[in-house]
Chains A and B, each alone.
Chain A
Amino acid sequence: MEHDVSYVRTEMVNAQAAPASERGVVKWLRENLVATPMDAILTIISIALLVYFLPSALRWLFIDAQWSGSDRSFCATVAQGGAQPDGWSGACWAFVKAKYEQFLFGRYTISERWRVVLVGAMFVALFVPLLIPRAPYKLANAFLLFVVLPIVSFFLLVGGYFGLPRVETQLWGGLMVTLVLSFVAIAVSLPLGILLALGRRSDMPVIKMFSVIFIETVRGVPLVTVLFMASVMLPLFLPAGVTFDKFLRALIGVALFAAAYMAEVVRGGLQAIPKGQYEGADSLGLSYWQKTGLIVLPQALKLVIPGIVNTFIGIFKDTSLVYIIGMFDLLGIIRQNFADATWATAQTPMTGLIFAGFVFWVFCFGMSRYSIYMERRLDTGYRR
């Protein structure tokens, strides 16, 4: 077979590259930084601001910072009675380094600090598997974390039993207080909040009224007043001679406060469940608690995970307010150390606050990222 085909291309010609302005860095720059004249102006202003602030911030944080030292003279200029040249300004990480044990444990008896570390280790060992969806034995794990661990921790942290010396809660402080307060408040507020939310949606007028009044009153006032109430008024409410630990009082205040907020978040979830689900459960002959526990809550809680985690983050941040009733959580103890004559310099407050901010930020940011991850995982795809 002879074909007179003068020209047949046997292979494809490679596509021509897009014009330089439509690809790579140039395109990205054009679209993202200088798309319009207005954008260009904004970009220039932002870059100018960054160039102005970022280098000096980095210098302050790292390059000019004082990393080691034993007292204030390392972080003060000559004029302020220190060793640094005049005009020096930098973070005083030596302060954080010298005080970090206090920031972690407060004034907890030094020889007994292994107990706090042990509790922390147990908490991590139980908490991390709970976060990993693939890890087995979730129920046992949760039981250990939420029932066994608090009991063990109580005996370990407070002491006074099994030959452990007692450590008064006035000595507690630092990150430990922040974490204990927020863990207990979170663990108490979720079930309590669910009960209050169910109560608010109940058909029984007395229970409904009680829930509404509690939730709205607590949500209408600042936490500071609730804490004041817990610290000043609670002793008045109790019979003479009965005293309550101050730490416990703060704990009750924070937990009740958090429960009211949690209740409103859970109520949002309960309201979002279609009526058919309730009716379906009723027609299957489930009792109220079966209906709630097996049908409604699993769906409702899944819907409001972001809200719940937001409340957790709120509780975690709010624990810093116990400083106002004279307890020293992480922020409180750092604030208290500004007044420490050995370390008082112009740089100390900022350094301490940045350290505290960083610690709080890591915890809160971690929580919010985990909630996003969990939300995606649990998304069964029914939504649009």
Chain B
Amino acid sequence: MASQDIVRHDAGSRSSFLNDPKIRGLIYQTVLFVLLVAFVYWIVGNTIENLRRANIASGFGFLNNRAGFDISQSMIEYSSDSRYSRALVVGLLNTLLVAVTGIVTASIMGFLIGVGRLANNWLIRKICMVYVEIFRNIPPLLVIFFWYFGVISVLPAPRDSVQLPLSSFLNNRGFFLPKAVWGEGAWLILVGLVVAIAMVWFVVHRARKRQEATGQQFPVLWTSAGLIVGLPLLAFALAGFPLTFEIPTKSTFNLVGGFQIKPEFLALYLALSFYTAAFIAEIVRAGILGVSKGQSEASFALGLRSRQALRLVIVPQAMRIVIPPLTSQYLNLTKNSSLAIAIGFPDLVAVGGTILNQTGQSIEIVAIWMVIYLGISLLTSLFMNWFNAKMALVER
């Protein structure tokens, strides 16, 4: 009876090949594939037709044309006579500039606030908590507007600039710093720095070898600091102090000279740092809480000082928890830098948008954006994955 049932059941399933998961999977995939191909074919057909009718030549040839627009802030030489491709490079450099400076500041702020949220001090704890809860729950664009329209635009006009220490000025045209003008022989300082770094590397290497062999420690930190600061200073003195400062001075309507940080950059940089710091703070807090208490107790029991325990036991373990989410925050910050377009900071998206409006080459521009941002994401991920693998738990 039972065996008959089985046989019948078996026969039934064989009769319908649709019940075979393999065949079904093949059918699903074929359907999806055909649909996708048809969809892409339809889109490409429409696009070609639309472009033909709008008289837009596709392809990246337009990149060699004259740009014809100015960019307010550029790290490389650029004028309206430059090519579109150069304009895009200017935009990319600006994106990278704001991303890198933002990441550094956000990391420092985030680390301090994250540690502050775990402090024994009630007041510090609460202040950090309020900070995190405020900035995590408002849009980044609002933070950018806050700095740009709420703070920097209402600063006094240049002739009533706020004077800050070190001959720097703050007004609604930005932040003016003395500009360092390097004289002849300044390259010696760079040489000094390179030599110092090489020596530090050597010292660290030797010190570790010695500690492993004999157990004796060597004050690596102080030696390295001395070398890194001392050698360039020595070179500076040898070259005869080749440095003068161009100090910004007030004229009737504006400040002249000096190094100007544009308000758009300042607003974007501050906003991204403040916004991302709240997220990084939470990551750092989770990382520290994730290291079990036994670890610090055990390291104290081994006789480590609290700083040693922190450096050798706690931080390396916390890093393992922190690095993956930290990577995605760094990427978020980089992507959020595209909000620059809302206040007119010429980043990649803003410059690309201008070109898009001028030439109508929307597909090419969007493709360039996507490739560059994907590339940045990929490179950052690769680097952080490498770093993560280095920090990861070595299990035997």
Contacts and interface: CB of A to CB of B under 8 A. Distances in A.
Interface stretch (B82-90, B311-319, B335-343): B335-343
Contacts of A237: 43, 46-47
A346 B366 contact: no
Contacts of A33: 121-123
Given A222-B349, A236-B47, A357-B138, A46 B153 contact: no
B141 A320 contact: yes
B29 A240 contact: no
Contacts of B127: 46, 50
B348 to A, nearest CB: 9
Contacts, number: 156
Contact of B139 (A228, A240, A317): A317
Contacts of B28: 204, 207
A201 B153 CA distance: 50
A46 B123 contact: yes
B149 interface: yes
A340 B144 CA distance: 20
A58 interface: no
A96 to B, nearest CB: 14
Interface stretch (B68-76, B254-262, B296-304, B369-377): B369-377
Contacts of A350: 146, 149-151, 154
A41 to B, nearest CB: 10
B342 A32 contact: no
B201 to A, nearest CB: 34
A239 interface: yes
Contacts of A46: 121, 123-124, 127
B50 to A, nearest CB: 5
Contacts of B369: 221, 225, 228
B302 to A, nearest CB: 24
A205 B336 contact: no
Most buried by B among A205, A220, A338: A220
A223 B362 CA distance: 16
Contact of B120 (A35, A206, A324): A35
B362 A365 contact: no
A380 to B, nearest CB: 23
Contacts of B138: 317, 357, 360-361, 364
A353 B120 contact: no
A335 B377 CA distance: 31
Chain A's interface: helix, strand, loop or mixed, by majority? helix
A240 B363 contact: no
Contacts of B150: 349-350, 353
Interface string B136-168: 111111100110011101100000000000000
Contacts of B121: 32-33, 35, 39, 42-43, 46
Contacts of B151: 350
B142 to A, nearest CB: 5
Interface string B273-307: 00000000000000000000000000000000000
Interface string B324-353: 000000000001101101100000010001
A210 interface: yes
B25 A39 contact: no
Nearest to A348: B149
Given A210-B36, A237-B47, A353-B149, A221 B335 contact: yes
B137 A313 contact: yes
A149 interface: no
5 contacts: A33-B123, A42-B124, A228-B353, A317-B138, A364-B137
Interface of B: 25, 28-29, 32-33, 36, 43, 46-47, 49-51, 53, 119-124, 127, 133-134, 136-142, 145-146, 149-151, 153-154, 335-336, 338-339, 341-342, 349, 353, 356, 362-363, 366, 369-370, 373-374, 377-378
